[in-house]
Structure 1
């Protein structure tokens, strides 16, 4: 409850100017194994999340294309409840908080550019240092194939592995309208979902696949390392729309993958993160429950 109050204090004072959400996710306990199937205890996870986007400026040209600046505040707090070896190989708590400035601008009738730059804290709450502050950025060139389909390519910036690295990025956004709305979004992560209105107030959404994760800079035996966990989930989520500006939702589904990895913060550590080695573990399939509120003003 204490951490939920913190998120409310961060978001609500400025919510009247933008849009955002506050949510809670719970992943039930499951076995923690290595790639060979050896068990190292078990664990569950609770994630408190908040996101708020503040438009800084927005304007349209004669063709209806948008040029805009926005600031986005993200905050995720992970509380791990692990036992035995899982407790030794995973942190107890992770704080991921960041702020980004983003910009969208048309180049031609079909092409536009998306850019963002920001930084954040990725660490255990009681172990925040200068090394825990990570930068991120991206520049993506987007081509509008149809009114509801855009693809793009670009590059992203990160210093998660100690040195600044530029990595290739892809972009895909497709949405269908009608009684059943289908969405495929690869702008930040991956989300494939379908939704429909059951009544004027109740909307049902089914997410076939969604991928998210958390990370934390750690100091192990005097060496700076990066802990990362990636999660893949599917769920059904009914939402009740209190008004045009606010809705509450619940969600129930499965968390099919929760992998963990500890890597050196170096170029070699980056390439080693793609290899199968003794530092890779994962939790088994678990139940995932969600609840939250979305708002737009």
Structure 2
């Protein structure tokens, strides 16, 4: 058993004073030594954090004890250490940026539990639709799923017509943790699709609870790990090295800060080319040192998780933990 946990979660539940709650939540994470990214919005809460097992347990208990978040569920993974370098707790208009004119608290697709999804996914009357960005599904997706060439969920309205031929089918949407599908499935319903479902808990929960059957490749995640294996039953690799074309699920950011291209790069090419995606990038005079991971966190001198904490008066405050 590994000493750290990685928690992925979201909940749509109204938060009346997001700014005040952001402060409370930031302090909670400081007390529990958690790192990660958390979004607080009027519509709810969305986050991924890492920390020692006991600290993560205390965090989950605290959120579940809040009447606003009693229905929250967590996807829990193990790790050898923190999967984040910093702590960010931010207020935003939405917990997942979509600009879609929908309210998941009023209407959304039917939630399918992982085991139900496993049984239904190969039904000839079912169409699987990936609601993630193109760089995510390029490294891994469910076998036979429809994917869109979109950078983010805001572009979904431009791609809905690609599903017109499947209007008489059962549409099952999926994403990493389930949050995008709450709005994506609601949007499909608003566009006249009648049989719309979503994988509850997303790819991560499906892998944890069922073994990940028929998820080809690896799952992109938004932390230091970049991608994680999901399928422990019939795994295959679907992506290839950007440089040599050999099969690999290993994703990096180009070591050239000007490029910073998000690509799959095999270990051999990563070592041979210093983590760059092209020879031109290799000549960048500001090339970042390649440590074999291809993950480059934003550097901040003397960073402390307390940074970013402000009082409601807009003034920085000293925090004793």
TM-score higher than 0.5 here? Answer: no
Which structure has greater helix proportion? 2
Which structure has greater strand proportion? 1
Task: Provide TM-score, normalisation by structure 2.
Answer: 0.26
